[in-house]
Chain A
């Protein structure tokens, strides 16, 4: 059955993390959040008018994802209104996956109850670390005790819990492995482990430039990444994408949709959508997004129709990230020295596919560039 996904971007945060480059703001109040939710509903309406397939029973909604920003900044009644006016108006599959992201410090028993009542069945907690020093370097507003409490609460309230970890400055390998063990023991069935990226214009970039933050060496990051993957596999969480590990069956279906090029609808400032050959990007800026909606226009900053070459590139690059890998027949001939890569442990050829190893994932950008050159 053909399905689609829905992504709603909630741009509000309690504070801004040093490394974040997404559309987000820490300046908001109840009125602003109310206006935002009304905006999302209006955008959904406009998109339904523009795309009749959205209302069709033959293409139900299979996954929805509230990301940010920090969705847990929304009051429960606003969140319920948002979901009712979007997810609630779609044809849905019986097993709809409905994920929301939360920061540990905002994840309270009251919020958990409200989210369950609103139909949210998967929670993704932005833990990042259980080390006070690491959290401080990242500019996170959370402390280890609060994070542990939130993890325990999430695992007690929801059957599907994911937690994010970051591999960045100050991370020690033994501590990281112990933290992951602790999370899995609490019942976390899905872990996203991100190698920290420094984006231009962030606070972190400035601190790296002035020397007040030192990034770990590539060799250190490689060792930690490979060791963490091994430890998670030992605990039953299998790596199914560059940064994602899950118990079999607990994978994020929504995120898998991205890598398998399923269509999705994006709502909210900075949200992207992909439907067929079309790629749509909303205005990052909340005011610009609202202004277009007020004028009755789709709040889009960029709309692009993919050319066949771009489409081929997209599908190869996305498949390469996954455990299943890329069908060998999709690879441009001569782009990769397949034998040498296998000898040097970057990939394996299995089931007619090229599947990257941990070291291969670590060299993903290099491999992608080599492929892009020939596509």
Chain B
């Protein structure tokens, strides 16, 4: 059956975390008959264990549903599930660019949340038709009238436009499908024009190479044709093309308005980056789809295997992850404290956490991650500029003229009662407020210029805590700016622990050093001998603490069966110790390397 653009609808679901996005997707798949009962499991589109467990979506998961409405009319519905976190802001914007409509889902109990508003702005920016949806109406605590009022305030819709559903029970799903068909406009595009397809995600398949997830805006691409990727001008043969169910379904080609995939045979996904445009090599379109930007790593962290013999496995795992994750970068690095490892670059903190967790779970590695940091520009006295992504590698202060750090414009949307607290934590982190505007009677948008380093250390956590989770944060890089920065070294029994080195503002060095020493004292277990912990800038020791040795730690009785119990305990402890790192004669638990994160100001 030929693709009929008038009978197609491309849409996404946007929602605050836990408002039921994935469950709603499950239900749509079920009601349209895309999935039969035996395929059904919860969060069916979230294929990674990590996604199911955390209830978040990391990769986009498009799916094409064939829907027969009550009047007997057939429709093609493309649902593009989107990742939902500030780190993946760019990926989300590309997914939205591929749609004409968005379901804005709000939990009937919790009401409109910060993420709802951010997502809404993003959708409006992309000129999407918004369908307001109240979910979880079956719950006893549901406040449907209240949320209806919120929606009216927020988007100025008519109460009758709001679709009320329970994704859990299936109530209202038919009405929702009708709203999608009636209200979301059909995709525009000219099948006769030169081919123009937006890549909104990509993945690596070990059989067919890099697979681009695309929205066809114009023209047609067919199997066997030669395609060109706009930004890098690489050409590939279309090995396979088609659209998505739960798996990929091969077709002869894709035409304007369709959502599907193109298997390129490329060796890794960096050749088909999100946001790029695919066209035909023979008859290319004249311009790419607007909005392409190469996602740049903003946050860096050293990843080290706790056991040195896992180094090659870590290298192998990073290479495999990179096949599928164009925004992950890494280079080899050596630490005196941690041995051989990699300095990795990430989009943000969640990206870092996800990569670390996947390395540990999917590849069975035990890792130590150092304090996340940013990229500094170091102007030397001889006028040259060096980039520094690893505080331990900062050049000798004597030859440094100035250190410049990345500044971001951070935009915080918060209910008005938290404005004071938000300003306070931002100023404490060297933020400069540049704007404050009321979005409505309740909500305020605050804008700060903030050192990115302060942001990655704990700003997001702190923001969530002082606003009880209501604030949302978005940020973009603006420039590097010089400040009075110093390198703070940590010494354990006199040995420099390079992995704990950090760059801080001179005014904060003393209090930071002291708190860090105290935190490490809590985290480093008592050992056979006393452990001296010192924080120093250059040769000047700013703070010191000592972990006293045990006075008594002995199993007094050891006969017969005690021997086996004792041995098993030691073998178990030895396993546990794998997450400890030996620095000189001291065993340091992995958490200590992240202690810097947990220091309260």
A: contact size bracket: 35 or more
Instruction: For the complex, give the distance between the alpha carbons of A22 and B85 in Å.
Output: 54
> Is A362 in contact with B561, judged by CB distance below 8 angstroms?
no
Residues B528 and A370 in contact, CB atoms below 8 Å apart: yes
Residue in A7, A195, A272, A310 whose beta carbon sits within 8 Å of that of B552 in the complex: A195
Quick one: given A310-B571, A318-B563, A373-B577, are A366 and B527 in contact (CB under 8 Å)? yes
Looking at the complex, which one of B549, B551, B559, B570 makes contact with A368 (CB distance below 8 Å)?
B570
Q: How far is the CB of A313 from chain B (nearest CB, A)?
A: 6
Residue of B nearest to A367 (CB): B528
With the chains together, A367 CA to B549 CA distance in Å? Answer: 12
B574 within 8 A of A: yes
Is there contact, CB below 8 Å, between A365 and B563? no
**Interface membership of chain A positions 242-272, coded 1 if the CB is closer than 8 angstroms to chain B and 0 otherwise:** 1100000000000100110000101000111
Q: How far is the CB of B542 from chain A (nearest CB, A)?
A: 27
The one of A225, A271, A344, A372 that contacts B571, using a Cβ cutoff of 8 Å: A372
Contacts A363-B552, A363-B553 known; A317 to B559 CB distance under 8 Å?
A: no
B192 at the interface (CB under 8 A from A): no
Docked-complex contact A365 and B555, CB < 8 angstroms:
yes
Indicate with 1 or 0, residue by residue over B522-545, a CB within 8 angstroms of chain A CB atoms: 000011110000000000000000
A364 in the interface (beta carbon within 8 A): yes
Q: Does A294 contact B (CB under 8 A)?
A: no
Report chain A residues within 8 Å CB of B560: 7, 67, 258, 264, 266, 271-272
Which residues of B from 491 to 537 have beta carbons under 8 Å from A?
526-529
Chain A residues near B2: list those with CB within 8 A.
none
B36: shortest Cβ distance to chain A, in Å?
47
Task: Please judge, given known A-B contacts A317-B567, A318-B563, whether A362 and B552 are in contact too, CB under 8 Å.
Answer: yes
Produce 1/0 per residue, A327-358, CB < 8 A to B. Answer: 00000000011001100101000000000000
Query: Within 8 Å of chain A (Cβ to Cβ): is B573?
Result: yes
Choose among A7, A194, A270, A281 the residue that contacts B557 (Cβ–Cβ < 8 A).
Answer: A194
* Pair A221/B558 contact, Cβ less than 8 Å: no
Cβ of B566 under 8 Å from chain A: yes
Expressed in whole angstroms, the Cα–Cα distance for A218 and B424 within the complex equals 45
Please measure, in the bound complex, the distance between the C-alpha atom of A372 and the C-alpha atom of B552, giving whole angstroms: 19
- Which residues of chain B come closer than 8 Å to A195, judged between CB atoms? 552, 554, 556
**B454 CB, min distance to chain A CBs, angstroms:** 38
Q: Report whether A242 and B573 are in contact in the complex, using a CB–CB cutoff of 8 Å.
A: no
- Does A234 lie at the interface of the complex (its beta carbon under 8 Å from any beta carbon of B)? no
A281-B556 Cα distance, complex, nearest whole Å: 21
- Please determine whether B551 and A362 come into contact, CB atoms closer than 8 angstroms: yes
A179 to B526, CA, bound (A): 34
- Give the distance to chain A from B524, nearest Cβ to Cβ, in Å: 14
- B206 part of interface (Cβ distance < 8 Å): no
Q: How far is the CB of A154 from chain B (nearest CB, A)?
A: 20
Whether B555 pairs with A197 at a CB distance below 8 angstroms is yes
Bound Cα distance from A369 to B551, whole angstroms:
16
Chain A neighbourhood of B567, CB < 8 A? 310, 313-314, 317
- Is A321 at the interface (CB under 8 A from chain B)? yes
**Nearest-Cβ distance from residue B214 to partner chain A, whole angstroms:** 53
Q: Considering the complex, give the chain A residue whose CB is closest to the CB of B577.
A: A373
Give the residues in chain B near A222, CB-CB below 8 Å.
Answer: 551-552
A221 to B585, CA, bound (A): 27
The reply to whether A346 and B528 form a contact with Cβ atoms under 8 Å apart is yes
Q: What chain B residues lie within 8 Å of A304 (beta carbons)?
A: 564
**CB–CB A243/B552 < 8 A:** no
Nearest B residue to A258 via CB reads B559
- Chain A residue numbers with a CB within 8 Å of B553 are 362-366
Q: Does B550 contact A (CB under 8 A)?
A: yes
Q: Is the interface of B mostly helix, strand, loop or mixed?
A: loop
B573 touches A364 (CB 8 A): no
Residues of B within 8 A of A225 (CB): 552
A36 close to chain B: CB less than 8 A = no
**Does A279 touch B at the CB level, under 8 Å?**
yes
Contact A341–B570 (Cβ < 8 Å): no
Q: Roughly how many angstroms separate A266 CA and B561 CA in the complex, as a whole number?
A: 9
Flag whether A219 is at the interface (Cβ < 8 A): yes
Residues of A within 8 A of B571 (CB): 310, 313, 372
Q: How far is the CA of A67 from the CA of B559 in the complex (A)?
A: 11
Alpha-carbon gap, A310 to B561, bound state (A)? 15
- Chain A residue at minimum C-beta to C-beta distance from B557: A194
- Tell whether, in the assembled complex, residue A372 and residue B555 are in contact, meaning their CB atoms are under 8 Å apart: no
Closest to A5 in B: B560
* Residue in chain B with minimal CB distance to A255: B559
Decide yes or no whether A361 CB sits under 8 A from chain B.
Answer: yes
Inter-subunit contact A221/B552 (CB<8 Å): yes
Q: Mark A193-222, 1 if CB is under 8 A from B, else 0.
A: 111010000000000000000000011011
Task: Confirm or deny: A274 has a beta carbon within 8 angstroms of a beta carbon on chain B.
Answer: yes
Closest residue of chain A to B554 (Cβ to Cβ) is A364
A126 to B567, CA, bound (A): 26
Given the known interface contacts A310-B567, A313-B567, A370-B528, the answer about A218 and B550 at a Cβ–Cβ threshold of 8 Å is yes
Q: Is the CB of A317 within 8 A of B528?
A: no
Q: How far is the CB of B357 from chain A (nearest CB, A)?
A: 26
In the complex, which of the residues A194, A270, A337, A372 has the most CB atoms of chain B within 10 Å of its own CB atom?
A372
B554, B563, B574: the one contacting A361 at CB < 8 Å is B554
Residues of A within 8 A of B574 (CB): 369, 372-373
Which of B528, B573, B577, B587 makes the CB contact (< 8 A) with A341?
B528
Taking the nearest CB of chain A, how far is it from the CB of B553, in angstroms?
4
Q: How far is the CB of B178 from chain A (nearest CB, A)?
A: 61
The answer to whether B554 touches A337, judged by C-beta atoms less than 8 angstroms apart, is no
A243 touches B557 (CB 8 A): yes
Q: Is A340 within 8 A of B529, CB to CB?
A: yes
| Contact call A242/B558, Cβ cutoff below 8 A | yes
Asked if A314 and B529 make an inter-chain contact with CB atoms under 8 angstroms apart, the answer reads: no
Contact of B550 among A67, A242, A258, A366 (CB under 8 A): A366
A317 to B568, CA, bound (A): 12
When A304-B564, A341-B528 are in contact, do A218 and B552 touch as well, CB less than 8 Å?
Answer: yes
Interface residue from A67, A318, A321, A363 paired with B528 (Cβ < 8 Å): A363
**Bound complex: CA of A221 vs CA of B559, how far in Å?**
22
Partner of A270, one of B551, B552, B561: B561
Residues of A within 8 A of B552 (CB): 195, 218, 221-222, 225, 362-363
B567 and chain A: residue at smallest CB distance: A314
CB pair B557–A272 under 8 Å, yes or no, is no
Inside 8 A of B563's CB, which chain A residues have their CB?
258, 272, 274, 314, 317-318
Using Cβ atoms and an 8 Å threshold, which residues of chain A touch B564? 272, 279, 281, 304
Listed residue (B527, B551, B556) with the most chain A CB atoms within 10 angstroms of its CB: B556
CB distance from A57 to the nearest CB of B (A): 26
State how many angstroms separate the Cβ of A250 from the closest Cβ of chain B: 17
- Contact status of A242 and B528, CB under 8 A, knowing A313-B567, A314-B563, A372-B573: no
B531 to chain A, nearest CB (A): 12
Query: Hey, which chain B residues are within 8 Å of A369, CB to CB?
Result: 570, 573-574, 577
CB contacts (< 8 Å) of A274 on chain B: these are 563
Chain B residues positioned under 8 Å from A310 (CB to CB): 567, 571
Known: A197-B557, A271-B560. A363 touches B570 (CB 8 A): no
CA distance A58 to B84 in the complex (A): 76
**10 interchain pairs, CB-CB under 8 A:** A194-B556, A195-B554, A272-B564, A314-B563, A318-B558, A362-B552, A363-B528, A365-B553, A366-B549, A369-B570
Give 18 new A-B contacts, CB below 8 A, not counting A259-B558, A365-B554: A218-B550, A222-B551, A255-B559, A258-B563, A279-B564, A281-B564, A310-B567, A313-B571, A318-B563, A321-B558, A344-B529, A361-B554, A362-B554, A363-B554, A367-B528, A369-B574, A370-B528, A372-B571
Interface set of A (CB-CB < 8 Å, partner B): 7, 67, 193-195, 197, 218-219, 221-222, 225, 242-243, 255, 258-259, 264, 266, 270-272, 274, 279, 281, 304, 310, 313-314, 317-318, 321, 336-337, 340-341, 344, 346, 361-370, 372-373
Query: Which residues does B use to contact A, with CB under 8 Å?
Result: 526-529, 549-561, 563-564, 566-567, 570-571, 573-574, 577, 585, 587
* A-B pairs with lowest CB-CB distance, top 10: A272-B561, A372-B570, A218-B552, A218-B551, A364-B554, A195-B556, A365-B553, A243-B556, A194-B556, A362-B552
